[in-house]
Structure 1
Amino acid sequence: MEKLKILFAVVLSLGTASAATLGVVQTEGGSVQGQNIPLGLFRSVDVFKGIPFAAQPGVFEKPKPHPGWDSILKATKFAQRCLQISMLQTSSFGGEDCLYLNIWVPQGQQVSSDLPVMIWFYGGGFMVGGSMGANFLNNYLYSGQEIADKGKVIVVSVGYRVGVLGFLSTGDSSLPGNYGLWDQHAAIAWVHRNIRSFGGDPDNITLFGESAGGASVSYQTLSPHNKGLFKRAISQSGVAFCPWAMSSKPRTISEQVAVKVGCPTDDRMVACLKSTDVKTLVMAAPSMEKGSPDHPAVKNLLLSPVVDGDFLPDQPSNLFHNTADIDYLAGVNSMDGHLFTSQDIPSLERKLFLFILEDVKRLVAAYTKEMGQAGLEVAFAEYSSNWESTPSQYSIKRTAVDIGTDYLFLVPTQTAIYLHAANARSGRTYSYLLSEPSLMAGPGKPYNDWVESDHADDLQFVFGKPFTTPKAYGDRHRDLSGYMIAYWTNFARTGDPNTGILKVPATWPEYAITGQQFLDINAKMDGSSIGQEMRLRFVRLWTSTLPSLQSCGVTEA
C-alpha cells in the first residue's frame, strides 16, 4: 500500500510538472507573463491578471488604444475596479485607470491552441460591479478557473466603467453616454486581435454576462460596431428590454447630477461636468434608496445605456438584424424578482408577519403606472385569477415574486429571445429557466421554504463554486454546477449546448417561434426537463394587452 502511495505521488508530481504552460506571451502592447497553477495530472491553468486593453479613459470619452509597455508585464495581480460609488452610497472606491482584463487558459500535456473563448461581463445595475478580485467577503466569485479547466475554454473577464462615469448622458451628441458599452466593445476587439497568442480561436468568441452584464451582452449583439468580432452570446437574467436597462430620461438625470456638483444646466453644463473632480461626479449619482410598493427600488437604477445614434443607432427592437448570424442563449431564474420585491415589500420574507394584499396591488400599480387605473385592474385580475376565494399567504407572496420576476426579467428576456429567433439566419436560439430551490430557503434560513432561484443565484453554479468551496454545498449543487458548465461551454464551442466535450443530462431543444421550447435547469434534470411557451399568458399581458390599453387612450394620468 505504501509503495502504491509513493508511486502515485511520483506520478502526480511528474504530471503537474509536465503540464504545459504558455510562459511569456506577446500581445500588441508588449510581452506579458502570468502564473501557472497546477490542478492535477497533466492539468494546469495559466492565469493572467490585469492586462490593459485600452488606455486610461478621459472623462466622458470613448476608450483609446493603450500606448504599450517595454519590459515584460507581470500579469499576476488584479487591476483596480473602475471608480464607483459604494453600495451604501457613502464613499467611492476604485480608479479611473481601470480598463484591464483577466485571462484563464487551460493546459494539458501540450500547449493549448484554437480554444473557444468566453468573455465575461459583470452585473451591478450599470451602477456598480467589478471582476477584479474579491466580490464579497474575500470570495472571488468570477474566477474563470473551473469553467476553463472543465470546459477546455479560455475565459476572459473585463473591467468597464459604471455609474456616472460610465453612463451619464444628455440624450444628445454633447454627452452621448454609453461609455461603459464602448469599454466592453474595446475589450471584445482586443480579445479578437490578441487571443490567438494565448491559444484562443479569434473566430470562436462567446460573450456571457448576468443582470446588467446580461443586458450588456444583449446590447453588444445589437450594435453594428461589433460585426464579425464574436460568434455567440449568453444573457443571464438581463437583456436590452429590461425596464431598468435603458435610460428613459437621460437629460433630466444629467441635470440633477450637474446641480449636485454645482454646475449650470444650460449649454455650459457639459464643459463644467468634464472639469469637475471625478470623485465628486461619482458621488453625485442618483440615490439608490430603499424601495416601497409605490416606488420600487429598481426604478432608482437611472444611469444606464441610451439610444445614442452611434453605438445603438436605433431602438433595440429595430436592431435585431445585427444578430441574425449570432447564436444566442438566454434565460432567467424562476424567482429573479424575489430580491427586488422583498426590498420593496419587506414583510415578504418575514415568515410570521401577515403579507398584505394591498401591497401587491400597490406594486402592480407602480409597474403599470403608464397604463393608469385600467392597467392596474387588468394586470391584478390576471395575476390573482388562480387564487383561492380567500387567498393564502403563500399565494399572495408567490404572486408578488412572480410580478417582479415577470416585469423586470422574464418578459423582457422572452421578448429578446423571440425577436432573435424571428430575425435569425444562421444564428440559433436557446431559452432556459433556472428553477433550483434557493440555498437561502428553508427552516432556520432567511427565506421561505418555497423560494427558488433568486437573482444572481446562477452565478455560483456557472463559475463552479460548489467545486472550489465544497463544504458550502451538497452533491446536488455540484451536479447542477457541472450541468451548467457543460451546457455553457458546449454552446461556446459549437453553438449547440448539447454538443461538445461534456455530457449533458437532457437534450436542450432549439427555441422556435412555434412551440417556444425551453430547458428547465435544476439539479434533478432528466429528459422531461423541457417546457414550452414560458409563462406565455403573462408575456402577452405585458407585451400586448397592457400596451394596447395605452395606445387606445384608456389610461389615466
Structure 2
Amino acid sequence: MKRRKYLVLFTLFLTNLVDQPAPEVVIEQGILSGKISPDGSFFEYVGIPYATSNINTRFKAPLPPPSWNGVFKAVEETSMCPQASIIGIIGSEDCLTINVYIPALARKLLPVMVYVHGGAFVLGSGGKLLYAPDFLVKHDVILVTFNYRLGALGFMCLGIKDAPGNAGLKDQIAALRWVKKNIAAFGGDVENITLFGQSAGGTSVSLLLASEATSGLFKKAIVMSGSAISSWAINRQPIWIASLVAKELGHNTDNPNELYEIFSKIPFKELVRAKPEKPLGKYLDTQLLHLPCIEKHIPDVEPALTDLPYNLLTKKPKKIPVMYGSTSKEGLLIISKDNEQTVSERDSKYLFASDLEFETEEEAEKEDNKARQLYFNGQIMSMNNIMNISDLMSHLYFEIPPILESEITLSTTADVAVFNYYFNYSGGRNFLKYLTGFKNETGACHGDELLYLFRGDLWPFPISRKDKKMIDWMTKLWSNFAKYGDPTPEDASDLPIKWVPSKRNDLKFLYIEDDLSMGTIPSPEAYRLWKYMYEKYRKLSVDRY
C-alpha cells in the first residue's frame, strides 16, 4: 500500500516535469502543437517557421515558409539568427521563426501585440531570454515575438537584384504578413494588431510606419527608444560600407557585382565576423556598419524603403495611433566603456552626426560651438564631465528623434492619437544600468524598461513590491493601448492617472517614475537646440550608390 502511494506521488512529480500539450492549431502550413506554461496561465507555440532563409536567399527577401505533414511540435525555441557572442559566432542562416503566446482562458478574439527585438541590428532574438511573455499575456492580449536576419546577412545593401538591401526589414514584413494570415487560428483579432519594439526594434517599427510595403498590416505602433529619423537609422553609404567589409576579408573592390560574388560564397560565420573600423571624419556617427538603406528601383523586387524615412513620414503618413518614448539616461550604455582616449577622440568631432549638412566648415563650427556651450559650457570633453557626454548621447541618438517624429506625425495627420512618455524609474529590474556599472545613478539606462514589460529568463531575481507595481502599470498601459488605442481609457480605474495625448504644438509626456505624472518636454533646452539644427540642416536626399 505504502509502495503504491509513493508510486502515485512519483508519477505526479514526473508529470509536472513534462511539458503539457496545448491545443492543436491548424494554419496554412499544417497542424501545430504547443505546450502549456508551467503555471498553466498561457499556451505557447514557439519556433514556428514564418519564412525561409538560407545561403540561396542570402541578402534577398525571404522565401515562403515550409509546409509539413503530420503535427509540427512548436515547443522548442530554435536557433537565433547569426551574430557574434562571447563564445564566437552563433546561430544559423535558417533562423526565421516566430513565437505565439496566448492566454489560456481566452474566450473571444484577442488584440495582438507583435514585438520587434532590439540589438543595434546585429544582436538579439525574439526568445524568452529577454522577452518571456508572462507579464503581458495576463492582460488578455496575444504576444508574438520573432527572429529576423541581422548584420551583414540582414542589411547588406548593394543595389542589385541579388542584394537589393533590407533583407532584415523584409523579414519583419514577412513576419507581419504571417501574423495577418494566421493569427485568427490562435484566437487573435486580425483587425487589432499593434507593432512595438525597442532600440533597433523601435527604429524598425518607425521604419515600418514609413514603409509603403506595410499598409494594412498593423493598426497601432509603439516606438521605444528609437526613430527612423535618428542619425543611426540609415546606412547612407552602403557600397562604401560593403567595400570596407570586403577589404577586411582580403578583397579590394567597390563593384556591387564583385562584392556580391565575394559575400554570397563565403561561409556566413566569416562574413558575420568581419567588422572593420569605419573612418568617421568630423561627424559624431556611430561605428554601426549594417543598417537599413534606401533601395534602388529594381524590376520585380519589392522594396522596403524607397526614400529617406523623413520624406516618407512627411509625404505619405499612415493614420494610426502611435506611442513614442525614451528613458532618462539612455547614454549610460554608450559611455559604459569610455576612457580618456575614447572621450578625446569624440571631442575632436562635431557634436552632431552626418545626417546634417552645412554649406561651409565655418558654419558647421559655429553650430558645433552652440552644442558645446549647452552640454559642456565651452569646456573640452573629459572623464570629469562624462555624465554630460551621457546626456549628449541620450538626446542626440534616442530622446530627441522620437520627439521630432511625434511632431511630424501630428503635423501631417489630422486627428491621429500620439502619446509620449519618459521612463525615469530606477528599480531592481533596471538590468542594463546594473550591467553597465552605473547602478547607483538615478533614472533609467537604455533598455531598462524592458524587464517591466517582459519577465525575461535573463534576470531571475525576486521581484520587489515596488517593482511589481511598476510591472502592473507598464503592462496595463501598453496592453490598453494595444486594445483601445488609448493607454488610459475611461474604465481604467486601476491606473492612477489619465495619460493625455499630445497635440500639434503641444506635446504632453507621461513621466513614468515612482509615481505617474503628466508633464512637458523633459529636456527643453536640448529639444530647442536639436529642433533648430534639424529644421535648418537636415539632409533630405541621399547619394545611395
TM-score where L is the length of structure 1: 0.81
Confirm or deny that 1:516 pairs with 2:507.
yes
User: Does the residue aligned with 1:268 lie in a helix, a strand or coil?
Assistant: helix
Q: Distance in 1 between matches of 2:235 and 2:96?
A: 24
- 1:284 maps to what in 2? 274
Q: What pairs up with 1:57-76 in 2 under 5 angstroms?
A: 57=54, 58-76=57-75
Pick closer, same or farther for the CA change 1:547–1:513 going to 2, 3 Å. Answer: closer
**Number of the residue aligned with 1:249:** 237
Structure 1 residues 448 and 188: alpha-carbon distance in aligned structure 2, compared to 1, 3 A threshold:
closer
Classify the secondary structure of the residue corresponding to 2:111: strand
Please list the CA deviations of residues 300-330 of structure 1 after superposition, one character each: whole Å capped at 9, or x if unmatched. Answer: 1121001115211111112125443221101
Counterpart in the other structure of 2:165: 177
Structure 2: how far apart are the matches of 1:275 and 1:466? 37
Instruction: Number of aligned residue pairs: give it.
Output: 501
Contact 2:333/2:433 (8 A) holds in 1: no
Structure with more relative contact order (C-alpha pairs < 8 Å, separation 6 or more) = 2
Aligned twin of 1:9:
none
1:377 aligns with 2:369: yes
Give the corresponding residue for 2:311: 318
Evaluate the alpha carbon distance shift between residue 346 and residue 102 of structure 1 in structure 2; reply closer, same or farther with a 3 A threshold. Answer: farther
**Equivalents in 1 of 2:340, 2:130: separation in Å?**
27
User: Offset of 1:38 from its aligned partner?
Assistant: 5.5
Q: Is the 8 A contact 2:432 2:448 kept in 1?
A: no
CA contact (8 A) 1:54 1:63 kept: yes
Whether contact under 8 Å (2:116, 2:198) holds in the other structure is yes
Identify if the C-alpha distance between structure 1 residues 540 and 345 changes in structure 2 by more than 3 Å, giving closer, same or farther. farther
Measure, in 1, the Cα distance between the counterparts of 2:244 and 2:347. Answer: 31
Distance 1:460 1:532 in 2: 26
**Residue 545 of structure 1: how far off its partner (Å):** 3.6
Distance 1:332 1:315 in 2: 22
Q: Does the CA-based 8 Å contact 1:79-1:100 persist in structure 2?
A: yes
Q: Tell me what 2:11 maps to.
A: none
Quote the Cα distance in structure 2 between the aligned partners of 1:255 and 1:426.
46
Per-residue CA shift, 1:38-80, capped at 9, x if unaligned? 63xxx62001110110123411111111130001001110010
Q: Percent identity?
A: 29
Q: Contact 2:132 / 2:457 at 8 angstroms: preserved in 1?
A: no
Residue 441 to residue 451, structure 1, CA distance change in 2 (3 Å) = farther
**Letter aligned with residue 376 of structure 1:** D
Give the corresponding residue for 1:206. Answer: 194
1:185–1:226: 8 Å Cα contact kept in structure 2? yes
Once residues 50 and 516 of structure 1 are traced to their aligned partners in structure 2, the CA distance between those partners, rounded to angstroms, is: 41
Amino acid in the other structure paired with 2:127: M
* Partner in structure 1 of residue 494 of structure 2: 503
- 3-state SS of paired residue (1:259): helix
Query: Structure 1: where are the runs of 5+ without partners?
Result: 1-15, 134-139, 349-355, 552-557
Preserved CA contact (<8 Å) 2:239 2:254 = no
Residue 409 (structure 1) aligned with residue 391 (structure 2) = no
- Given the alignment, which residue of 178, 190, 210 partners 1:190? 178
Q: Residue 426 and residue 203 in structure 1: after superposition, are their counterparts in 2 closer, same or farther (change >3 A)? A: farther
Equivalence map 1:521-532=2 (5 Å): 521-525=512-516, 529-532=517-520
Correspondence for 1:224 among 197, 207, 212: 212
Match of 1:422 in 2: 411
Given residue 314 of structure 1, which amino acid in structure 2 is its aligned partner?
D
**1:485 and 2:475 aligned:** yes
Contact 2:60–2:164, Cα closer than 8 Å, also in 1 = no
The AA in structure 1 aligned to 2:528 is: R
Are the aligned partners of 2:132 and 2:454 in contact in 1 as well (CA < 8 Å)? yes
Structure 2 contact 335–386 (Cα < 8 Å) conserved: no
Question: Are positions 1:343 and 2:337 aligned together?
Answer: yes
CA distance in 1, matches of 2:231, 2:310: 14
What is the alpha-carbon distance in structure 2 between the residues aligned to residue 466 and residue 59 of structure 1? 31
Q: Does the C-alpha gap of structure 1 residues 414 and 242 become closer, same or farther in structure 2, counting only changes over 3 Å?
A: same
Distance, in Å, in 2 between the alignment partners of 1:382 and 1:206 is: 38
SS at match of 2:118: coil
Matching of residues 431-442 of structure 1 within 5 Å? 431-437=420-426, 439=430
Task: Tell me what 1:100 maps to.
Answer: 97
Cα deviation code 1:392-423 (max 9, x no counterpart)? x9994442221110011111111111111222
User: 2:30, 2:71 within 8 Å by CA — same for their partners in 1?
Assistant: yes
Distance 2:495 2:308 in 1: 37
Q: How is 1:87-166 mapped onto 2 (pairs within 5 angstroms)?
A: 91-108=88-105, 111-133=106-128, 140-149=129-138, 151-166=139-154
8 Å contact kept, 1:324–1:425: no
Offset, 1:268: 2.6
- Report the 3-state secondary structure (helix = DSSP H, G, I; strand = E; otherwise coil) of the residue aligned with 2:407: helix
Alpha-carbon distance between aligned partners in 2 of 1:121 and 1:493, rounded to the nearest angstrom? 18
Please tell me whether residue 474 in structure 1 is matched to residue 464 in structure 2. yes
* Residue aligning to 2:484: 494
Q: Measure, in 1, the Cα distance between the counterparts of 2:341 and 2:445.
A: 17
Offset, 1:384 = 4.2
SS of equivalent residue, structure 1 residue 31: strand
- Check 1:454–1:428 CA distance in 2 against 1; reply closer, same or farther (3 A cut): same
SS at match of 2:47: strand
Q: Does residue 31 of structure 1 match 2:31? A: yes
SS in structure 1 of the partner of residue 131 of structure 2: coil
Residue of structure 1 equivalent to 2:13: none
2 CA distance for matches of 1:72 and 1:468? 34
- 1:287 is displaced (CA, Å) by 5.0
**1:333 and 2:322 aligned:** no
Corresponding residue for 2:286?
Answer: 299
Q: Distance in 2 between matches of 1:142 and 1:469?
A: 13
String of CA shifts for 1:68-127, please: whole Å, max 9, x gaps.
Answer: 0001001110010011222x5x7311001111001110022xx53310000111111001
Query: Do the aligned partners of 2:22 and 2:35 also contact (CA within 8 Å) in 1?
Result: no
Q: Partner letter of residue 51 of structure 2?
A: A
Contact 1:253 1:286 in 2 (8 A): no
Q: Is residue 2:448 matched to residue 1:457? A: yes
- Once structures 1 and 2 are overlaid, which stretch shifts more, 448-457 or 193-202? 448-457
Deviation at 1:183, TM superposition (A): 0.2
CA distance in 2, matches of 1:301, 1:223: 22
| Partners of 2:83 and 2:89 within 8 A in 1 | yes
Q: 1:426 to 1:66 in 2, by over 3 A?
A: farther
Letter in 1 for 2:52: A
The match for 1:49 is 46
- Relative to the length of structure 2, the TM-score reads 0.83
Amino acid at match of 1:485: T
Indicate conservation of the 8 Å contact 1:466/1:481, yes or no: no
Alpha-carbon deviation of 1:275?
A: 2.3
Q: 1:468 to 1:170 in 2, by over 3 A?
A: closer
In 2 relative to 1, CA 550–518 (structure 1 residues): closer, same or farther, beyond 3 Å? closer
